[in-house]
Amino acid sequence: MRVDFVRAVEKVLARDEEALFITGDLGFNALEGLVAKYGKRFINAGVAEQNMIGLAAGSALTGMRPWVYSIAPFVTYRCLEQIRNDVCLHQLPVRIVGNGGGYSYGIMGSTHHALEDLAVLKALPNMQLFFPCENDHVAAAVALMAELEGPSYLRLAVSAYTTSRAPLAEHPVTLTRAYATRADRSQPGVTVIGAGHAVQVALRALAAHGLDRQNADVFGIARFPFRLAEDTALLASVLETKNVVFVEEHYAAGGMGESMKLALPTLSAFSLMSASYRPDQRYGSAAFHMKQANLTPEALVALVQAQLGAA
């Protein structure tokens, strides 16, 4: 997604002279083009995330529209109070970009995982969250963020189950993607909802693990606060199935699943597949962590089957 992000943000910098790009000393082999092209509007703030957010707020107070980039855990947790006070309370158009959402950074270790980023940011006033499902979903999120007058956060990630699949439809505002429609609407069905790149668990399950043989609708959501009133296809599916399986690469507490359960009408069943903290910490690839957390295509298919069996 990082390549797609750089391409998209370059277009923003090209058309908006008040846009600027600030990095927390990250971007090797990715941002060199922006440095060369936008010189003064590209700032390396150094390894100093608190100051980076504060100065982004200060620049926004003068009328600039900064994009602030680092690894997801670094650009959210260290500087959370700066995001809250300096950006959100002032309702400033600061666009925060975290690379490596969820378990993307796998073997780099737990300091580099971002499994609470959406939880802490969703509580902040005026904050809007964007979490694209796939690489080709990033540009639309960047374009929407570029138009916002208030704060926003973009969660970039690499799924352990890199499975690209052309969506059946994508909502221009909510960014929600429909990926599969259940075969028999007269029979009990399940609505599978993936938050951001976690939907790729479902896409892999569709492609290779038999989810397509279950009676499942599959959606990928990419935006919070939810805009369910506009997400008519998603809402219609849920109203028909009353049976939801939600997948997120994030801890359950404070995650998107928890919020979705509250936002949806009364259901017969709602299951949540989330990341989990393991006291006996061992490290590996993103796929290793997904398996440890039982965030696998096989587990999803089994859960869908179980929920259909119970229906």
Dist. CA 23–CA 13, nearest whole Å: 14
Q: Minimum distance from CB of 46 to another protein (Å)?
A: 7
Residue with tokens 């994030």: 250
Dist. CA 84–CA 298, nearest whole Å: 39
Compare residues 62 and 281 and give the one whose CB is closer to another protein: 62
CB 212 within 8 A of CB 206: yes
Q: Is 14 among the residues that bind another protein (CB under 8 A)? A: no
Residue with tokens 């801890």: 251
Q: Is 149 among the residues that bind another protein (CB under 8 A)? A: no
Q: Is 45 among the residues that bind another protein (CB under 8 A)? A: yes
Q: Is 57 among the residues that bind another protein (CB under 8 A)? A: yes
Residue with tokens 């352990």: 160
Dist. CA 109–CA 237, nearest whole Å: 38
Which among 200, 226, 26 is positioned nearest to 108, based on CA atoms? 26
CB 77 within 8 A of CB 120: yes
Segment 72 to 111, residues that bind another protein, using CB under 8 A: 81-82, 85-86, 89-91
Backbone dihedral angles phi then psi of residue 240, each to the nearest 5 degrees: -80, -45
Binding mask 277-296 for another protein (x = CB under 8 A): --------------------
Q: Is 24 among the residues that bind another protein (CB under 8 A)? A: no
Compare residues 24 and 101 and give the one whose CB is closer to another protein: 24
Q: Is 58 among the residues that bind another protein (CB under 8 A)? A: yes
Compare residues 64 and 141 and give the one whose CB is closer to another protein: 64
Q: Is 12 among the residues that bind another protein (CB under 8 A)? A: no
Binding positions for another protein, rule: CB under 8 A: 20, 40-41, 43, 45-46, 48, 50-51, 53-64, 81-82, 85-86, 89-91
